Structure 1
Amino acid sequence: MAERKAYPLRINGEVLDAMQRWSDDELRSLNAQIEYVLREALRRAGRLKTPPAAAPDDEG
């Protein structure tokens, strides 16, 4: 697993409240939700390497 680093974040109160509601809906901590949203945005933008797909099973 990658090293985790602390980073202070300044964020608009309205955005923070919306993220908190979303994280509550998804049963995640606010920190985990922010990381999830950032990771998805990076992946969609092609800026985050995705892990290689698992090899297909020999069955079949």
Structure 2
Amino acid sequence: MDISLLLIILVCALDVAVLHNVIRSKSTLGNRILYSLIILLIPVVGVSIYYLIKKK
């Protein structure tokens, strides 16, 4: 199996897990939509941004 395929699967699984976390969060609907769009548009950086913002 090619390493790039494994990386794609890993990034997709991480995105799904973080999106599930965003959907179940208690933040406002607007924030959840914004976080989801960031995660979907820029997957690797979006996950990092979400966790950095979430800690505050």
TM-score, normalising length: structure 1: 0.35
Higher relative contact order (CA 8 A, sep 6+): 2
Larger radius of gyration: 1
Structure with bigger helix share is 2
